[in-house]
Homo-oligomer: A and B are copies of this chain.
Amino acid sequence: MTQKRRRAIQGATIRDVAASAGVSPMTVSRVINKDPGVRATTRAQVEAAIKELRYAPSAAARSLAGSTPCRVGLLYDNPSTSYLNEFLVGALDASSHTGAQVMVEKCIDTESADVALAKLLQAGVDGLILPPPLCEFAQVHKQVRLSGKPTVAVAAGRPLTGIATIRIDNEAAAHDMTRHLLQLGHRRFGFIKGHPNQISSEQRLNGFLAAVKDAGIRRTAVRIEQGYFTYRSGLKAAEKLLSGKPRPTAIFAANDDMASAAMSLAHRLGLDVPADVSIVGFDDTPMASAIWPSLTTVHQPIADMARMAMDLLLEEIRRKRHHDSNQPGQLLQPYRIIIRESSGPAPV
């Protein structure tokens, strides 16, 4: 070997990790690819070395060598810009770690979902990631199943057959949030529903209704308005709720965008939040802590869920490749109630 090794600007390689962990490159490769046949202790050592060396597999090498799925299609159509923001950060991050090439397509309605999906499939994606609300459209499911491509649905309302999902327990979260309002003494409620095309909308409403019922509140003290997860729809719904007599002392919106709209309207009507009316949301997008007063809401780990979606998808692709016919993974993530400034004691 008269030639010396070319520059090492590339950072750590699989060989460095192997040396550091005291195993062969082959074993490192197995860990990266989540091969189950690696002893737990070995895996831990390798993972530690990966972390320490900040090792990121080379996408080029993996795809050259042949195994890695390199293309992941991400199809989105999300009305909430802040939700999407979080999601993309997670997706981009996962893409950089896994070396997968994420191909993004946006669509505006169900019609264009068809076209966009076809486009992704033609580009040769190995699998698909569907953020809400696309992940809940029956038509999209059908097309996805037809394509035979492994798919992960994020924040789907419930487990889906043949499609992996990552979600939280929307009903329990809404129930907990409502209990928070009840504990503050609220007895007259307004609820702004999410888009009817998403199961989670229904689940959030159900959690709310169950908690209210458990507390012995009569249905007449509860007003429900339809929203569509957008700021604008929240504005309309809040208008109806706040002009009703008697006025609710607390409004629970099924996402942060609508809660924020409700707050804006309350201000325009000269109401103080939370002295006159408490307003709470759902998702804990960055907007929740940006606005004033800051929003009490349900925290959903959106970026993490996007990251996990990528990992789960790569796993599914491999499973399918090995003709493993188990049901796709179904991950349930934890949520948290975040109490900020927009909720307070009910006015006397």
Instruction: Name the B residues within 8 Å of A263 (CB-CB).
Output: 264
Q: Let me know if A96 and B104 touch, CB within 8 A.
A: yes
Q: Report Cα–Cα, A230/B270, bound state, in Å.
A: 24
Assess whether A290 is interfacial by the CB under 8 Å rule: yes
Q: Report Cα–Cα, A63/B58, bound state, in Å.
A: 10
Q: Report Cα–Cα, A292/B230, bound state, in Å.
A: 11
Q: Report Cα–Cα, A106/B231, bound state, in Å.
A: 27
> Which residues of A in the span 72-91 have a Cβ within 8 Å of any Cβ on B?
74, 81-82, 84-85, 88-89, 91
Q: Let me know if A10 and B267 touch, CB within 8 A.
A: no
Assess whether A184 is interfacial by the CB under 8 Å rule: no
Known contacts A11-B122, A11-B123: A232-B292 contact under CB 8 Å: yes
- Sampled A-B contacts (20; CB under 8 Å): A9-B124, A9-B126, A54-B122, A54-B123, A58-B64, A59-B70, A60-B63, A60-B70, A64-B64, A81-B82, A81-B85, A82-B85, A89-B106, A92-B92, A92-B95, A95-B101, A232-B290, A235-B292, A264-B264, A264-B291
Q: Smallest CB–CB gap between A214 and chain B, Å?
A: 35
Q: Smallest CB–CB gap between A181 and chain B, Å?
A: 23
Query: How many copies of this chain does one complex carry?
Result: 2
Assess whether A216 is interfacial by the CB under 8 Å rule: no
Q: How many residues of A contact B (CB 8 A)?
A: 56
- The prevalent SS among residues of A at the interface is helix
Known pairs A60-B63, A88-B92, A264-B291. 6 more at Cβ < 8 A? A81-B81, A84-B85, A95-B101, A96-B104, A231-B291, A235-B292
Chain B proximity mask over A112-143: 1 for CB below 8 Å, otherwise 0: 00000001001110100000000000000000
Instruction: Name the B residues within 8 Å of A92 (CB-CB).
Output: 74, 88, 91-92, 95, 102, 104
> Which residues of A in the span 11-36 have a Cβ within 8 Å of any Cβ on B?
11
> Which residues of A in the span 252-291 have a Cβ within 8 Å of any Cβ on B?
257, 261, 263-265, 267-268, 270, 285-287, 290-291
Q: Pick the contact of A58 from B9, B70, B96, B232 — CB < 8 Å?
A: B70
